[in-house]
Amino acid sequence: MDAPGATRAESRAGRAPVSAADRQLVALTDLLQDGQWTTGAALAANLGVSPGDVAERIDRLRQDWFVDVEQEDGRYRLRRALERLSVPGVVAGLPARWRDGIKIGVAPCVGSTNDELIAGDAADDPQVLLAERQSRGRGRRGRAWVSPFAANLYLSLAWGFAQQPKHITLLPLVTGVCCTRALHRCGVGEVRIKWPNDLYAEGRKLAGILVERADARGAGCRVVIGVGVNVFMTPAQAGGVPSQWTTLEQVAAARHMAAPSRNLLAAHLVAAIADGMVAFARDGFDSFAADWVSWDLTRDRRVTVLEEGRSWNGVARGIDADGALRVEAGADVRTIHAADVSLRL
């Protein structure tokens, strides 16, 4: 769908059923989410289990969900109070033009928000699914995406185009511009885009984007756009992610600001991407080109390109009409459609 529907107000929970084991951990996390000390006996009484069961579930929270739980003299607390995502919380932050036009779902745990929407009913589009945790989150080129519970933002939006845009390969770049606009509106003005689909702040990765084609529909097409933003993740929760990364909390703290609410951040991202899809269907890349040039972190920088098992160096020279990266190597300018590109800082 290329424009919001005026009478489609509906919100619903996540599609994937939550396992009994996951429900147990969600219930435990909800009892701890305020960050206050709670005795194991009180937790056991609230959950209707033994203190030993509580201790076992605390271990699972730490090891499987990367939740930072402190323990002292038989008491437990989260090192950081959690702001849980909710449908009302996200909808409240949406501009009026989208409150009745997009279905919002929130799930505690899914395999992958993108996979859920790819398998979902296209008749429900445009639709959004957010999750507190993904067990099979992934990034570009199939890489795993670390998803600690309620520490970051994991969001996917399914969108149908009545007519396939002429340069559909530009969609990851369009989404990068949309997400950067949303983050700037949240006061995070340092964000730049690293071709083709990573957002950086202060030289470190802040967010990633994964755009996937779901199906073709006559002259049109359906896409699912996944966005993952590091919000409050700690090094321990990152599980040894090798690349340099940062969080909204760190970027905001450097400017003596508080990180935005996760619900409000989700609303800003959803609205910006939805607005972007409407504009892209209508105008192509024209309404994004100036922002892309302003926020292109890669342009005129020395880069290393890894493709087909070999690497070579050059200088990035912007993008072509299809969104491919142009890299100057000696006397030649090569066009890169799909490769790993790292900045040489």
Residues classed as catalytic: 140, 205, 344
All residues at 6 or more sequence positions from 308 whose CB lies less than 8 Å from its CB, including other chains: none
Q: At what angle do helices 286-295 and 262-283 cross, to 10 degrees?
A: 130
Strand 302-307 vs strand 340-343: parallel, antiparallel, or unpaired? antiparallel
Sign of the C-alpha dihedral computed for residues 85, 91, 93 and 98 taken in this order: positive
CA 276 to CA 126: how far, in whole Å?
13
3-state secondary structure of 147: coil
Under 8 Å CB-to-CB from 18, ≥6 apart: which residues?
Answer: 26, 107, 108, 109
Three-state SS at 209: strand
Beta bridge partners of 210: 226
Asked whether 218 and 209 are in contact (CB, 8 A), the reply is no
Orientation angle between helical segments 40-47 and 51-64, nearest 10 degrees = 100
User: What's the rounded Cα separation, in Å, for the pair 195 and 176?
Assistant: 9
